Structure formats: C-alpha cells, structure tokens
Amino acid sequence: MAEPQRERPRVAVVFGGRSSEHAISCATAAGVLAALDRSQWDVVPVGVTPTGHWVLAEDDPARWSIREGAPLPEVGPGDGPGVVVPVATDDRALRVSEPGRPPRELGDVDVVLPLLHGPYGEDGTLQGLLELGDVRYAGSGVLASALSMDKGFTRTVLAAAGLPVGPWVTLLAHQWEADRAACEQRVAALGWPVFVKPSRAGSSMGVSKVAGPAELAAAVELAASHDPKVVVEAAVASPRELEVGVLEELVQGAGGRVRPEPRASVVGEVVVGAGRDFYDFEAKYLDDGAVRLDSPADLPAGVADRARALALEVFAAVGAEGLARVDLFLDADGQLLVNEVNTMPGFTASSMFPRLWAASGLAYPQLLDRVLRLALARPTGLR
C-alpha cells in the first residue's frame, strides 16, 4: 500500500479504556496532547470509555489531567461523537457516527499512538485490532504486549532466557477456590513478607505487601478483584528500585538497509519516602511528596552499566518493539533482579520514562516524535 502523501502525518491518540488504569491513561494523553508538535503532526484524540465505546475526544490537555482535589478524569459516552475503527487492510479512515446523522469520515490515519494502560489496551488486544486493519501503531506488537502485561508469564520467559528474577508463584482463581491450603503452602515457601499483585494490571493497582499468613487471604481477594490471576512475589531484601528506558533508534546497516536498534537510557531510581512500605498507587499519582524520582540514579561503580545492559536483554527476550520501561531491583548484595516490563509506560512529562530520556539528552517533544517516526517506519503485518 502506498505511503500517505499528506504534509503532516495524521496520528490518532487513543486513551482511556476498560481497565482500572483508565484515569492514568487519560493523564498520559493529557501530557502527550500538550507536547505533540502540531506543525509536524495532525492530531486526532480518540477516547475509549470504561465500557469500550470509542469517541472523538476533546483536544484539551486540562480536561484529561489528574488534578488535586478534582475527580479522576474519565472518558464518557457524551464526550464526543462515536468513532468507527477500520478493520480492513484497504481502509484506514476513521469515521464519526452520530445518532440521526449519516457517518462522516475524519480521513485516513497514518499511525496510532495507543496510550491505554492495562488490560484491553496494553495487553495486545488493541494491537491485534490495529493489525487486523493494517494500521501502523507505536510500541510493541501483539505477543510482546500480551506477554509483558502478564507478570507471571513475563517471569517465566525471562527465567527461561537465563535472566535474573526473584522467586514467585502464580495463583489462579479456581486453584484458590478449590484448595486454599495448598495455595497458602506454596506462598509460605517463598518466605515472608511477600507482595501480592494482579498478574495483568499496572500502576500498583490491587497490590499489597503481606507480612504473614493472616494477611494473605485479604490481599489475594483484593488482587483478584482486578484480575482472577494473581502473582505472589518474594520480597527483595532492602531493595533499591531502578528503572531504565529502552527506545529504538533507526540505524543504517549493511547494504544501506535501515533497521531499528534499541538503546538504553540513563538509570533512574524511585526513592519512597518515610511512611510508605512501597511505591503504591497513591504514591505514584496522588501524593506529590511521597516519592523522589532520581534520574540519573546515584549508584555504585558499574551498577548503571549492568542495569542498562540487563534492560536491553529483557527488551530482546520479550520481543519488545519501539519503546519500553524495564523495572529492576538492586538487592542488598548488589545483585540486579528484573521486576517487570512496561511496553507502554506512563508518558506525562513528569513520568519516569520521559524523565529518563530527558536526562539522556532527548527532550519530551522529541521523544514523542521519535516514537511516532519509529512506528511510521515499521512495516505492518508479520515481521
């Protein structure tokens, strides 16, 4: 299919969605809408309601921001006319559908920036829809997105690749219901404390630190309210939480062929303040004084280089594309362990991923431009 000939490529910024991270996705979109260079990109904001309706959303960053004292942002069915997404390989046009009116075309979309976090967006489902329509999009494909969203399977793949991960167990809802005692024994074998998490959620939604057996059931039930698949991880002794951004760069290889090559950012550190056991949802998004994000992190000699190398290995092991944020633990013995992979990390100007790249010399607007240019250069279909 021929490349579009418009002066400015049209990018659909898709956000909101059906997961518990809906508001975080809206906040990410607010940052992106404010920073995208409109002289370079024709921007179409598309919101997805919590029930899955796609609407032509307001192009107003303030409308989608998280603000102290205000309700969390949410895309509603009344926020704009409905949007019909193309699913045929010879049709890339978005269409607006309004009651009592004939559908009207918004025009072809050149690339989608999928800013949905969590299930039904970051987990390969949206990526699969875009693949059906032969539409270019930023970030990882179906397999890497689905794999990285599932904390249990991520660890299984990383362990098989010989990369360092801590001990964990996965509990399925039917296992917990059928034989709770056996599940409790598997968890107890990890030692206490443990962290109990929904396997396919992010932003620390539904995460609990469990000090002993008496607290386990409540923590599992909380995690299961977000996802019937629960991961329980052994706590790391005196951990330092490190984060590395990975971003592909187009380089010219042998024969003049251009190919993407991943690069690692400087290493950042999440420093949780007194009064909090871990980096939970409130610390991330609602309490400005709860954490400090250091980029670059102040680390012993050699640790940053090891962390950056490990992040690139993780990126390759899960088959990521475009961008990712790799979260690591540095334990009391100086060993690095992989915590998780985020194929669509938080993308506000103050989020860790953009801050890591700003500290690496790539400012926020240029980072967004790089992500979209990578997506435009990537072929659709099997690759």
Could you list the active site residues?
21, 203, 285, 325, 327, 340, 342, 346
- Nearest Cα to Cα of residue 45 among 54, 34, 56: 56
- What Cα–Cα distance (Å) separates residue 268 from each residue in 174, 285, 294, 349? 39, 18, 5, 15
Residue 267 three-state SS:
strand
Q: What is the CA radius of gyration of the chain?
A: 21
Q: In whole angstroms, what separates CA 320 from the centre of its chain?
A: 12
Take residue 264 and report the two structure tokens written for it. Answer: 């690692």
Q: Are 145 and 139 in contact (CB under 8 A)?
A: yes
For residue 110, which of 84, 129, 132, 136 has the smallest C-alpha distance? 136
Quick one: 156 exposed, middle or buried, by C-beta within 10 A (0-12, 13-18, 19+)? middle
Query: What is the three-class DSSP state of 290?
Result: coil
Q: How far apart are CA 334 and CA 313, in angstroms?
A: 19
Lateral strand order in the sheet of 208-210: 168-172, 229-234, 194-198, 208-210
State yes or no: cis peptide before 354, omega within 30 of 0: no
Could you give the CA distance from residue 92 to residue 181 in angstroms, rounded to a whole number? Answer: 53
Distance CA 196, CA 217 (A): 10
Between the alpha carbon of residue 173 and those of residues 126, 199, 284, the distances in Å are 25, 12, 28
Closest C-alpha to 298, from 289, 311, 307, 287: 307
Give φ, ψ of 329 to 5 degrees. -115, 140
Please state, as a whole number, how many other Cβ atoms lie within 10 Å of the Cβ of residue 179: 11
Helix, strand or coil, per DSSP, at residue 344: coil
Distance CA 255, CA 36 (A): 34
